[in-house]
Amino acid sequence: MTTISSTIANHIKPTDSIVILTGAGISKESGLDTFRCADGIWAKVDLEDVATPQGFARDPNLVHRFYNDRRRGLADPAIQPNAAHAALAELERRWKGELLLVTQNIDDLHERAGSKTLIHMHGELRKVFCVHCRTVETWDGDLSVHDVCPTCARKGGMRPDVVWFGEMPYQMDRIYRALGACDLFVSIGTSGNVYPAAGFVAEARGAGAHTVELNLEPSLGASHFAEAVNGPATEVVPAFVA
Ligand code: BV8
């Protein structure tokens, strides 16, 4: 069974550098939908309409409704970090080397589980920004075209602080630097459909890192990984980290 201990025994040192990438699959057992599973988000709504700048320009009310529904869902007390989120926070606490957690998810379950060195490369559901003054605000209620920017007081410019298709993900320089210097790359709960995240395993391998995929089933990029463990995140991630 592939674990951090077996990885240390065979591939890395305890003071080496780790980059972890997560996707929607790690939050599935907390009750949040994935995107491309049979009952996923993109089976219910066209991503062109709700996750592109063009969709937002065409119908901002539809996009606000889409993210307002998900923001309200995330605020449900039943939605809590699961054992996989907790295991990654525990690994970060005890790891002696560098550890960077990069998530494609816009939920806040990693930080609520205690992860600290975390990048939300696709933004955050509980953040919004003003297109006029670029100020980012934490926003827990509904957002609409009628909202006024608390900073510049202009109206109609507030949008979810989420990276849509065609937009540059956040902190890419920092992520590529970490991938170029890492000794272990672990991908968890992502289908490998969306770039540039889907290309991270190739970047890490190119830098000589050992690569592990922990996913319910083999992702589109499974063949790029040196090792893989398939199963639900709440089982395979704690077992890997043990
Ligand atoms: C960009 C918005 C320029 C937030 C999202 C090549 C290079 C660069 C770009 C492209 C390229 N080819 C195409 C592109 C363009 C595009 C793209 O990738 N298109 C795809 C569809 C082909 N990419 C972009 O536009 C990106 N921007 O490229 O800018 C650039 C270029 C280079 C370098 C820098 C910049 C912007 C992409 C971000 C778009 N925004 N979402 C939101 O509403 O949430 S993407 C969307 O998909 C989600 O955010 C999500 O994060 C992302 C990935 O999905 P996954 O997390 O993988 O989820 P999915 O459902 O697909 O899979 C879940 C997995 O979990 C499955 O494998 C399943 O088996 C597993 N699972 C299920 N249950 C469990 C489980 N695993 C474990 N346990 C379980 N219980």
What pLDDT sits at residue 7?
85
Rg of the chain taking only CA atoms, in angstroms: 18
Residue ranges covered by each domain of the chain: 4-32+81-122+169-241, 41-77+129-162
Nearest atom in ligand 1 to the alpha carbon of residue 198 is: 18
Ligand 1 centroid – CA 24 distance (Å):
9
- pLDDT of 1: 80
Could you tell me if 108 and 79 are in contact, meaning their C-beta atoms sit under 8 angstroms apart?
Answer: no
CATH (residue range 41-77+129-162): 3.30.1600.10
ipTM value, please give it: 0.95
> Which residue has the CA at smallest separation from atom 67 of ligand 1?
191
CA of 226 to the centre of ligand 1 (A): 22
Report the relative pairing of strands 210-215 and 123-130 from DSSP bridges.
Answer: unpaired
Distance (Å, whole) CA 242 – CA 31: 24
pLDDT (tens, 9 = 90+) of the chain, 242 residues, equals: 888 888 888 889 999 999 999 999 999 999 999 999 889 999 999 999 999 999 999 999 999 999 999 999 999 999 999 999 999 999 999 999 999 999 999 999 999 999 999 999 999 999 999 999 999 999 999 999 999 999 999 999 999 999 999 999 999 999 999 999 999 999 999 999 999 999 999 999 999 999 999 999 999 999 999 999 999 999 999 999 99
Among 179, 195, 235, say which to mutate for ligand 1: greatest number of ligand atoms within 8 Å of CB.
195
Q: Concatenated DSSP letters for 143-208?
A: --TTPBPTTT--BS-EEEEE--TTSPPTTHHHHHHHHHH-SEEEEES--S-STTGGGHHHHHHHTT
Residue numbers in the known binding site are 23-42, 67, 70, 104-107, 130, 133, 149, 152, 189-191, 215-217, 233
Q: Which two tokens stand for residue 98?
A: 């560098």
- Tens of pLDDT, residue by residue over 184-211, are 999 999 999 999 999 999 999 999 999 9
For a ligand 1 pocket test, name from 194, 200, 235 the mutation site with the most ligand atoms within 8 angstroms of its C-beta. 194
> Is the separation of the CB atoms in 213 and 240 below 8 Å?
no
DSSP H or E run through 127: strand 123-130
Buried b (16+ CB within 10 A) or exposed e, 177-200: ebbebbbbbbbbbbbbebeebbeb
The CATH class for the domain spanning 4-32+81-122+169-241 reads: alpha beta
pTM higher than 0.90, yes or no? yes
Count the Cβ atoms, other than its own, within 10 Å of residue 118. Answer: 17
Residue type, 74: L
